[in-house]
Amino acid sequence: MKRNVIILEAEGGADKWIDGHRKDTMPIVEAIKAKGFNAEVLFFRDEWEDELFNYIYENADAVIVRINPGNLANGETKLFDTLRRLHDSDILVMTHPNTMMRFGAKDSLSKLADTDLVPDDTYAYYTVDDFEKNFPKSISNGVRVLKQNRGSTGSGIWRVEIVDSILDDYQPGDTLPLDTVVKCTEAVDNHVEYSSLGKFMRFCHQYIEGENGMLIDMPFLPRIVEGEIRVLMVANEPIFVVHKKPVQEKDAFSATIASGADYTYYKPEEYPELVEKFVNAIPTISDKLGKIKYTPLIWTGDFILGDEESGEENYILGEINCSCVGFFSHLDMGIQDKVADEVIRRINAKHG
């Protein structure tokens, strides 16, 4: 065992501080060092992939990836290839690209549709033909939410609802005509557009086409106006809960900071039912998403309140995020120490 951990970052990007690092990177480094291991930061470039592989292989037991999607000029293909090579060479990779893709992809929701975490009428469209065939039926059942796979901060997430009286002539499950008028609200900033169903669907083709393209179609949960509840996890341990409440304006349903949502932070014990439900579901989530051994190192689950069941709140999973989840505004909670403990625990389990 080399007792050394590499943290991989990207050069530049809006997530960097004046020292060139993410604000939560050096606290992780110092926390690992305080526990008797060494840690150092390297920057990833495509042209350095072989040098980085050799250095990490020769000098480290593990690598932690702290690279935001979009911060690498040429995409993440070379990064993921390098991480897979390291994993295959017995280096502990946190988080493995396959795990990031399986947990973080929007179709994780459709794969969990047969659990109590997600509505059973949640669908994934991987082809334009499938979308064109099925969405005109889906929208006849009520207000829907479409989510693209590649978006962030609400981009490409649309609430879609019928605004004319055409539903008087159709039953739920019928295929609606493409000239049906729909009202579409995008979560990124809550702006509203009106369109024919056919025109809007053609606009959405861009979300399906291309690498990792897909659309998730799920029912709109009206209680989103009460807020979205995020649970931040380090491995299997809940660290805090944040209530993200949308701005109180007409048509607003986005819970992103960019849209003006208000964030309030709580300890896990202040949301016992939600936290217990999420933690107990981790084995099921890991199994459904590919029989994954390790959960992501740092990840979140975003929940929306559903209809009350037997007088108790019902929490519906709306998204999982594990791509470089940040916590720099909450370093006083000791999250970096939890991360260091988990990293060392995994290293000892693998190499000890």
Domain definitions of the chain by residue range? 4-95+335-351, 103-109+224-329, 118-221
What are the CB-based long-range contacts (under 8 Å, 24+) for 26-35?
27/328, 27/331, 27/336, 28/64, 28/66, 28/336, 28/339, 28/340, 30/336, 31/336, 31/337, 31/339, 31/340, 32/5, 32/340, 32/343, 32/344, 34/337, 34/340, 35/340, 35/341, 35/344
296 contacts 103 by C-beta, under 8 angstroms: yes
308 contacts 301 by C-beta, under 8 angstroms: no
Evaluate if pTM is beyond 0.85: yes
- For each of the chain's 352 residues, which pLDDT tens digit applies? 899 999 999 999 888 899 999 999 999 999 999 999 999 999 999 999 999 999 999 999 999 999 987 788 888 899 999 999 999 999 999 999 999 989 988 899 999 999 999 999 999 999 999 999 999 999 999 999 999 986 666 788 999 999 877 777 888 999 999 999 999 999 888 889 999 999 999 999 999 998 789 999 999 998 888 889 999 999 999 999 999 887 666 665 555 655 567 889 999 999 999 999 999 999 999 999 987 888 999 999 999 988 766 556 789 999 899 888 888 777 778 899 999 999 999 999 988 7
- Domain 103-109+224-329 top-level CATH class: alpha beta
Question: CA-CA distance, 67 to 55, in Å (whole number)?
Answer: 19
Architecture of domain 4-95+335-351: 3-Layer(aba) Sandwich (3.40)
Task: Pull the structure tokens for residue 269.
Answer: 């014990």
Which CATH number is 118-221 given?
A: 3.90.70
